[in-house]
Structure 1
Amino acid sequence: MRYADKLSQRLTTTGSRLCVGLDPRPDDSGGIEAIPELLKRVVGETWEYAAAFKPNMAYFEAMGIRGLEILEEMLGEMPKEVPVILDAKRSDIGETQKYYARSYFENWDVDAVTLNPFLGYDTMEPFLDWEGKAIYILAVTSNPGSADFQRQMVGDRYVFELVQDICARAKKEGRKTDVGMVVGLTNASDDVLGRIQDFPLLIPGLGAQGGDLENMAGKGRVAPDTINVSRGIMYKEMEKGYGQKAKEWADKIAAAYPCV
């Protein structure tokens, strides 16, 4: 089964595009040794509302070797029906990328990974022939600095449109791996979305970053887009349970951007 089909099935099951971000913070959680139990609780209480989970490598790497062990343990216990998108944003020359691909798709067996396309198409290729897997390439990120490069014009096209060409090329070549893009909700203006084709989108920027769900309304998209919430579930409104917060976000997302 292709990744896009697995994700589409999950969207149908949950009725929402919610992607639950897993960004563990030891300083806010009682220390590193409290993190495994925290992650078990978050995953266990939110999975029924989650179209996908997105662990962010930076938070696990910041905990050193123990953090990588925690990540590996968590990945081995994830619900199999929920796609896992590893937010790594890796970028390197092709030979190095081969080992990143093996690390994520073979050793950890995640469903998808985020990549930085700045080094070009050949550095994406080591990730493009994995059956049932996907990559999301950074196109329009959710930070203000996306205006420095991604939303600059080269001739009559934006840089993010050149990034989008990677998706189109991989599809034209019939690569086994599905290719989508990261498009931040905070910068998803009509001008941006009007130039984004119907490739799967991973959409951060909702919740703490202040993205507006109305940006996605009425765009006629049918790709299995997912909208990420991290801090809004793990570290906000702590008087509420993780499952309650996930359901509330799932309902808000479904109301503004229903699954077709």
Structure 2
Amino acid sequence: MRYAERLQARIETTGSRLCVGIDPRPGDDGIDAVPDFLKKLVAETWERAAAFKPNMAYFEAMGLRGIEMLGELLEQMPDEVPVILDAKRSDIGETQKYYAHSYFSHWKVDAVTLNPFLGYDSIEPFLGWEGKGIYLLAVTSNPGSADFQRQSLADGRSVFELVTALGERSLAEENATDVGYVVGLTNAAGVLAKMPDAPLLVPGLGAQGGDLASLAAAGRSAPDVINVSRGISYAGDDRSFAQRAADWADKIAAAYQG
């Protein structure tokens, strides 16, 4: 089964497009408390999760123990839920080959985020993996996405359309790996109409304040997922992880239905 098919099946099974972001921040209890925090987060949210998205930076910030914790977490993930590793890697092809092996063969994640700035040959090592997916950074959720990604070219295209052209090339070459895109909900206005109907990973909801209306109105058929991280893990209220995840999943579903 291709990655996009598996993700679509998960969305249909759960009725949810919620991607649960996993960004652990050690608190007063220190690093030793993080593994139990992660286990509880996954255990309470997986039934409403279309996908999980661990962010490499938060684990790397905890040093070697953090990398160990990420490995332990990935081994414990429910088989039903696709895992998107948010790594945003970008390097020359030879180095990317080792990143691809690390993520897809060693850690066995289902998809990974990549920075496509180095061009098509830098993503090629990720394109021959059956059942896997990659998400190319197209229009990110930060204000700085206006500096490059949303700039206009002389031919009228936007820079992010050069990114989607890479995915369209891979599709034409019939590669085994599905190619999707990262599109920040905070900057989606005027962008979605130019995006191929390929899987989108959509950050920017929740703490970043993105609005679902433009995404829900786009009429897309691809298995898009909307990420919420802090709004579930660190909402600062008395609800459980399960309650927060259910609330976000229901809010997203209502936007698509309305």
Quick one: distance in 1 between partners of 2:256 and 2:185?
A: 12
Corresponding residue for 2:97?
A: 98
Task: Please identify, of 29-38 and 223-232, the stretch whose mean Cα deviation from structure 2 is larger.
Answer: 29-38
Matched ranges for 1:56-67 at <5 A: 56-67=55-66
Residue deviations 1:84-130 (CA, integer Å, cap 9, x gap): 00000000000000000000000000000000000000000000000
Quick one: distance in 2 between partners of 1:49 and 1:200?
A: 19
Counterpart code for 1:31 = G
The answer to whether residue 169 in structure 2 is matched with residue 166 in structure 1 is no
8 A contact 1:29–1:35 mirrored in 2: no
Residue deviations 1:194-237 (CA, integer Å, cap 9, x gap): 11110100000000001001121221100000000000000013
Q: Does the C-alpha gap of structure 1 residues 82 and 92 become closer, same or farther in structure 2, counting only changes over 3 Å?
A: same
Residue deviations 1:121-158 (CA, integer Å, cap 9, x gap): 00000000000000000000000000000000112100
The answer to whether residue 16 in structure 2 is matched with residue 8 in structure 1 is no
**Superposed structure 1 runs of 4+ greater than 4 Å apart:** none
Quick one: distance in 2 between partners of 1:83 and 1:29?
A: 31
1:193, CA displacement in angstroms? 1.1
Corresponding residue for 2:106?
A: 107
Identity of aligned residues (%): 69
Describe the SS at the equivalent of 1:228. Answer: strand
8 A contact 1:129–1:175 mirrored in 2: yes
TM-score using structure 2 length:
0.98
Describe the SS at the equivalent of 2:97. Answer: helix
Corresponding residue for 2:187?
A: 187
1:46, CA displacement in angstroms? 0.2
TM-score using structure 1 length:
0.97
Quick one: distance in 1 between partners of 2:216 and 2:71?
A: 37
Corresponding residue for 1:79?
A: 78
8 A contact 1:114–1:136 mirrored in 2: yes
Quick one: distance in 2 between partners of 1:18 and 1:166?
A: 26
Quick one: distance in 1 between partners of 2:112 and 2:45?
A: 21
Corresponding residue for 2:151?
A: 152
Quick one: distance in 1 between partners of 2:29 and 2:153?
A: 48
Quick one: distance in 1 between partners of 2:142 and 2:14?
A: 29
The answer to whether residue 207 in structure 2 is matched with residue 208 in structure 1 is yes
RMSD: 1.1
